[in-house]
Amino acid sequence: MLSKITSLHQVQALAVVMPILVLVVIDDLRNFRIRNHVVLALLALFGVFYLVNGDLDAFTSHLLFGLAMFGLCLVMYRFGMMGGGDVKLLAVAFLWMGIENATVFAMLLGMLAMGYATGASFHLLPYRTDNGRVKVPYGPTISLAWVGASLASIIL
């Protein structure tokens, strides 16, 4: 999850972030939206976490990577590939992951998104259609990939 920080701090951070991610999953499945205040809370927790741990190098590295991924997500948003809430949540997730955990996070995200899409195609999971396009909530897959990648970085 976060470089150069003991796993105890990683576990503590995940324990604070997980309940917020549960709220993201529930709200996105019910309402197909990710609320701004939830994303801002996750962003603020990132700042607090690094302020408490005092790792300016890791903070800078994660911040630059998160901004780069935000830019990439904005391009995807521009072409209608994802919603605005998904862009913000994904950018904050990449901010927390940093480049060192981005591959594991992206792999989990891809697998979970394919699984969700499959479940939605069989009408087992919530989805919506808008102008003939099927829309699925990405908040649950982003949240689960976030937790999975964080646990992987703690364990490994």
Phi-psi domain of 129 (left: phi exceeds 0; alpha: psi -120 through 50; beta: other): beta
Per-residue pLDDT reduced to its tens digit, 72-115? 999 999 998 899 999 999 999 999 999 999 999 999 999 999 99
Cβ-contact 104, 146 below 8 angstroms: no
pLDDT band at 6 (very low <50, low <70, confident <90, very high): low
Cβ-contact 126, 120 below 8 angstroms: yes
Proportion of the chain in helix, strand, coil states, percent, rounded to 5: 80, 5, 20
Q: Which amino acid makes up residue 54?
A: G
pTM for the predicted model, two decimal places: 0.91
For the chain, how big is the Rg over CA atoms in Å? Answer: 15
